[in-house]
């Protein structure tokens, strides 16, 4: 299907140009239930190994999810800074489920089910939120909303609990 391949190429290129690790169709003006994900190894260069381990972050090859829906979430959560291509230049702490199970259709319209944890789970939750009209701003710890520059300068290497303590924010 050439039109679908062209759409996926456009979304992949838009995501990479930003650069980002995920993109939802509504972010490029399309009213369809589609997200693309890719966390490239080069995006992790310059991030301390301890930070990658804490986030459980590793490379994810490009793939598309049509009509994705989260069918299970873990009760355990983690809190990290998130940014978004829709709100470029800003970031805030967001608490998300540590593990999710997602059902979706692949590029051949075949039903798929994946269970992921860590950073990959965070990316999926973030992108699927877009399909429901939600941004990370709706979930963030408001007192942590910051420019990327200020985050990098002041908070980047601080664990969420230490940041909450420093800002006098009660843990939820």
Structural domains in the chain?
2-78+97-138 (3.90.45.10)
Least confident among 41-45, 50-54, 115-119, 162-166: 162-166
pLDDT of the residue at 70: 98
What is the spatial distance between Cα 74 and Cα 8, in angstroms, rounded to a whole number?
30
Among this protein's residues, is 127 annotated catalytic? yes
Q: Is the pTM of this model over 0.85?
A: yes
Question: Which residue out of 38, 79, 82, 127 is catalytically annotated?
Answer: 127
pLDDT in tens, 63-92: 999 999 999 999 999 999 999 999 999 999
């Amino acid at each position: 299907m050439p039109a679908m391949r062209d759409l996926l190429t456009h979304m992949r290129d838009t995501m990479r140009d930003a650069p980002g690790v995920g993109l939802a169709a509504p972010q490029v003006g399309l009213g369809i239930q589609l997200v693309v994900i890719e966390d490239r190894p080069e995006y992790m260069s310059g991030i301390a190994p301890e930070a990658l381990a804490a986030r459980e972050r590793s490379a994810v090859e490009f793939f598309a999810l049509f009509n994705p829906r989260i069918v299970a979430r873990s009760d355990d959560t983690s809190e990290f800074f998130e940014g978004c291509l829709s709100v470029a230049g800003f970031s805030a702490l967001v608490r998300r489920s540590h593990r999710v199970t997602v059902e979706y259709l692949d590029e051949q319209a075949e039903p798929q089910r994946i269970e992921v944890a860590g950073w990959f789970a965070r990316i999926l939750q973030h992108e699927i939120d877009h399909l429901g009209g939600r941004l990370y701003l709706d979930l963030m710890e408001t007192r942590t909303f910051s420019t990327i520059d200020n985050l990098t300068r002041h908070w980047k290497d601080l664990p969420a609990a230490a940041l909450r303590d420093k800002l006098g924010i009660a843990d939820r």
